[in-house]
Amino acid sequence: MNWLLVIAGAVVGAPLRYLTDRAIQVRHDTVFPWGTFVVNIFGCLVLGLLTGAVAAGAASSTVQLLLGTGLCGALTTYSTFSYETLRLAETGARFFAVANVVASVVAGLGAAFVGAALAQAIWR
């Protein structure tokens, strides 16, 4: 039964990632992968909030499977982040490649911490 929850979340997360990526990227005339950056940071925020909610007892492990593993797992994408960073470096856009790595790590961790802090403030 647990695997069905993960699949259900992923069924929503994967198309949401693709559609959000395309909608954002088409609005920016730059080589920087804004679409992937935004979905990854948003996913980190949601996962931080969800983790905080589970830790506070406000959400169950079932919700964590559905939204954390399923939705956020399919919404965020380390493989696309890695591929796009490699492509930036290979095409000579090394500044954007480094900026993508640094900004993604800093903003992703920051978003996860903000989500967890927000959960703690809400469900304390």
Binding residues: 73, 76
- Rounded to whole angstroms, what are the CA distances from 99 to 102, 114, 124? 5, 21, 36
Over its C-alpha atoms, the chain yields an Rg (Å, rounded) of: 16
Task: In whole angstroms, give the CA distance from residue 43 to residue 74.
Answer: 9
Residue 106 burial (CB count, 10 A): 11
Binding site members for Na(+): 73, 76
Which two structure tokens, joined as six digits, stand for 15?
A: 């198309």
Task: In whole angstroms, give the CA distance from residue 12 to residue 34.
Answer: 21
